[in-house]
Structure 1
């Protein structure tokens, strides 16, 4: 508003474990955890430390379901957090969205989820800065996820954003009912568009709606489109991502060995070199037993 600014940051990110969805995905989510919990712990710890450094206190809002592959991932996520040093200061709010608020039922979010989130967003506060407002800082953030961080995540994040919007408008001195109503309608449209755009990038189709008969018919068509996209075109997208991140892409076997032996900068080599280094690893590594709470193998690079 003129030179006055107000903001509230939310984070969305997939479950911070090493996992994938192999094979055909039709009707249900088949998941595979690539590493045990101990092997996941260092990456999880780095991820949480980075979030805390950048955004302050973290509250995890986990929207995963309690059936099939989602339940496996859900359980592993909880165990990883509980076993980490972050368990004491990082609450996890578990809300099975498909069970309690399927179809984006706002009244369910209002009655069941809002009371759990409200104390935290009041604790975080909002950011404000400008000539006509009192300076305030946001001291923490929600880290929200479902499986693919699309429809469910967007639904709950937009719900939180609309709740916070009223406090933001008040901080800017925009208290009249007519202005608030106009902001709310515009904000809803923005969040809907945000959901569609994210969904297009990730799945090639618009976000699911499911609130009325026509919406459910459209959702059926979009679900078919997503199934085709994820099963037949995602591999090419993943190769493109690997190419951008690593400079090349290579077979999963040598990629995993390379990641264990070298840091990510050393992986910027051609597949043939990576293969040779993996096959000759015993020429430049040694193994020693370490005494600790758990028995580990130490790899030393020369």
Structure 2
């Protein structure tokens, strides 16, 4: 179980001076096997800012596709002039908001960003991918394209929460509740003698007329199944950056808004969830054991 310290602090008011290793020692004393504390962004140095792609020139005289871009980073470069950057990625377009490492920045792996001449052009920075920032899997393996409303010139280190500590806990069978942030937060609150803000203590709306029929054929294997219909959801909507980053930090890949929300709640509360497209579901949802010779195709 991977537990970001920044997320854990939402449930327990840990002293600001407490580091991930301090929390590790406390949880080990409480009987949890905290194997490592990963220091995210420890070797990261700015300036790393949000920019808007102003122009793209395709350089076709080389063996592989190369693009010469100008990127508006506001006043982050001290001049207000667009930043000239050579980039080989192709998953972004003019007008897109991207993450720009300006000269002087140092990316994970001691990768230093400086002005240099390449492919016959002067490149003054780098347009970053999630891999280059050690963010985890985002499903694209390409340039990070930010929501269009993201402010130009904004500090991308803060925006993407690139600096954090992540505790890696080997959860033993008797501590199954620690396969969730809520469970680990409870142990942390007890270890420190602090109050717990339980994320599960919320008012749940009463059942409504949009319920969907479910039939459980094996109550021993599944003693309850709760289905709730959500309307007004845009399938094209993107999950907010903070939610995507939390999923990445616990080792999950952001997929879509509906899937990300179910995964987020699962990691927060320890309750597995699944989202169905009501437009595609036909008839009663059945919960049963597999039958002999039966095959299925998994989501991956």
- The TM-score bracket by the shorter chain reads under 0.3
Decide which structure has greater helix share.
1
TM-score of the pair, normalised by structure 1: 0.22
TM-score of the pair, normalised by structure 2: 0.22
For CA contacts below 8 A with separation 6 or more, give which structure has more relative contact order: 2
